[in-house]
Structure formats: C-alpha cells, structure tokens
Amino acid sequence: YLAKEGKTGVELYLADKDRNSPERLSLLGDLRRALDRSELKLYYQPKLDLAAGEIRGVEALLRWRHPARGLISPGDFIPLAEQSYLMRQLTEYVIDAALEQAAHWWHTGVHEQISVNVSARDLLDSALPERLEAGLARYRLPPKAIQLEVTERILMTDQAYTADAVRALASLGVPLALDDFGTGYSSLVRLQRLPVSEVKIDASFVRRICDSPDDERIVRSIVDLVRSLGLRSVAEGVESADVAARLAEMGCDLGQGWWFAEPMSALDATSWLRRNRGQYHDPVKPVPDTP
C-alpha cells in the first residue's frame, strides 16, 4: 500500500483482536441495535468543480452516535460490519436514507447528486440494482440522483468485471465512482473495463501536493490518466486554498475537503446548499507550477 494514512487506534485495536473477542461482539451487537434506534445518520459533504467554483454533488458519510461511546467514525465500525452479515443491512439503510434525502432535495429545487459508499461485496449483490431501481421509481428520481462509490480494490476482484449486478447498475444509469484511488496496486488498464465515471484520488496523496514533489507527481499523473480515459477526477482531502489552486492548475476536475466544507448534518447541508446555490466561490486561479 502506498497510502500514508494510518489506521486509528480503535481500528487497529479491533483488527488485532480475535474475530470473536468480547470487544468486537459487543460493538457488533450495539451496531445491530443502532440500526433500529436511529443512532446512525448520514452527513453530507459537498464536492466542487475546481475551475468553475460550482457545487457538483455531495457525498453521504455515515455517523454513529453511540449512547455510551459518543460519536464513532465509520473507519471504526464499517470494517467490522463488513466481516459480518450486518453490512448488507447497513448498506440498505444508507441507500434508503440517501434516496429519501435526494427526493427531499430534488423536489425542493436542490438538484445535487448524492454519492453513497458501498463495500465491494454489496456492489456485487444482485439485490442492489433492484433496490435502487425501486427506490428511484418510488421517489420519482432520475438515476443520476445517486452515485455509488466503491474503493479501488474492486479492480482487483475478477468477479467485478463479470457481475450481473454491475451490468444491471450500468444499464440502470446509476453512475459508479472509484474511491481512494492510488492506495491499491490496480492495473490501470483495468479501469476501463468497469463502467466507472469518476475517480476519487485518495486524501493521503492530495494533502501534501504543495510540500511533497513526490505526492505532487503522483496526483498529477493520476489526473492525467483519468482525463485520458475520459473520466472525471475528484481530489479528496482538500484542506487549503493552495492545494485547491494547485489541483485546478493540474486540471483536476473536482475537489472535496474541509477547505470547502466539512461533512454536515442533513439540516446544515440543506441550508449550505441553498445558501451557496450556483456559484459557491470564485473560480480558483491556477497557480504556476513551481519546480
């Protein structure tokens, strides 16, 4: 792995523990109850066109308000859920919640696409396209109201290229984004073999492009590659104006990160989107490339 982002303490702790450790089982039990008790909520973080300064959709990010432990971030419970039968239920919950929010926005004049993270296994689940199709119809939403994000690792599973579910999603017209790009060793040729429309460059590379020539070169080459394949590039983890400007200069299409906005509750995101409708910020002026 090229990724520089370390795992959090809790994640490491759980990963090191036996599958059936009391710690694990208790958190899984809590998660099962959390689904029924609406302790899980989606937060929304906008994505912006770097050159035009316009909003180009939001990513839905899961938050868990645990009654005793407080806020638990997805990095600390998604990997756990992924190894259990709970993941499927979790994904269903996230998709239903995102569709409901999309309907609310879409029918009140906020036409922003919501990107939903799904695990690789969920993407291959044949029930997923049906669920999406039914949900889109129920809420009278166009397929582009939703996008699915799946990590780059999907490129390494041969199943992905042949899965009926992936084909069904493509024919449904629901776009697919590759998440955390750069952290795996995927063959870049393989990128073309999946119906992907967007590639999200991992924050661990983006964060330091103004300080690290290596990171700068990596991100620049990913942006070039993505463009040459006719896909859209999105930089994750944009934390400063300098990074946003450098990305714009590279020709990166979209940016997402704290510099623009943090993930927000549905309520806060709604007012943010209304407040910043159309032009959010002035077009980013590309800075000349300093060697």
- Residues in contact with ligand C2E by the rule CB under 6 A: 45, 61-62, 73-75, 78, 94, 117-119, 149, 179-180, 203, 236-239, 257-258, 263
Among 179, 215, 216, 253, binds Mg ion (CB under 5 A): 179
Measure the CA–CA gap between 122 and 273, rounded to whole angstroms. 29
Q: Which is nearer to Mg ion, 61 or 86 (CB)?
A: 61
Query: Binding of Mg ion at residue 180 (CB under 5 A)?
Result: yes
Show contacts with Mg ion in window 228-247 (CB under 5 A): 236
Contact criterion met (CB below 8 Å) for 123 and 164: no
The one of ligand C2E, Mg ion, none whose footprint includes residue 215, by CB under 5 to 8 A per kind, is none
Query: Cα angle at 104 between 101 and 106, to 5 degrees?
Result: 100
Contact criterion met (CB below 8 Å) for 166 and 194: yes
Q: Which is nearer to Mg ion, 30 or 176 (CB)?
A: 176
CB of 257 to Mg ion, least distance (A): 11
Q: What CA–CA distances, in Å, run from 123 to 96, 193, 284, 290? A: 15, 15, 35, 42
CB of 283 to ligand C2E, least distance (A): 20
* # residues near Mg ion by CB under 5 A: 5
Q: What CA–CA distances, in Å, run from 264 to 42, 151, 227, 267? A: 9, 22, 30, 8
- Residues paired with 54 in a beta bridge: 279
Q: Which is nearer to Mg ion, 203 or 248 (CB)?
A: 203
Q: Which is nearer to ligand C2E, 281 or 291 (CB)?
A: 281
Query: Binding of Mg ion at residue 152 (CB under 5 A)?
Result: no
Query: Binding of Mg ion at residue 117 (CB under 5 A)?
Result: yes
Q: Which is nearer to Mg ion, 91 or 117 (CB)?
A: 117
Query: Binding of Mg ion at residue 183 (CB under 5 A)?
Result: no
Q: Which is nearer to Mg ion, 204 or 248 (CB)?
A: 204
The one of Mg ion, ligand C2E, none whose footprint includes residue 237, by CB under 5 to 8 A per kind, is ligand C2E
Residues that bind Mg ion (CB under 5 A): 117, 149, 179-180, 236
